Amino acid sequence: MPHVSIKHWPATVTDAQRAELVEEMTRTVTRVFGVPEGSVSIAVEAVEPSRWTQEVHTPEIAGRAHLLWKKPNYAAPIPTEAQ
């Protein structure tokens, strides 16, 4: 506890950039939740645009909108190309 899951469209992100993202997220999560670094897990997953609506938007964004503290600013239909 806690676990953070970051899902994104495929992008050119280097291992160094992923490491920076994870480091910054870990720093923030440990500070806000008051937990040691070893209790944090972070997943980073690329999701193809053709699967985004079915695997991410419908179940995690629209289906759990009451939990979102930061909502996306795109409107239906869901974008089909990386922006």
Catalytic residue among 2, 49, 59, 72: 2
Q: Which residues have CB under 8 Å from 48's CB, separation 6+?
A: 9, 10
Q: How many CB atoms lie within 10 A of CB 8?
A: 13
Does residue 2 carry a catalytic annotation?
Answer: yes
Active site residues: 2
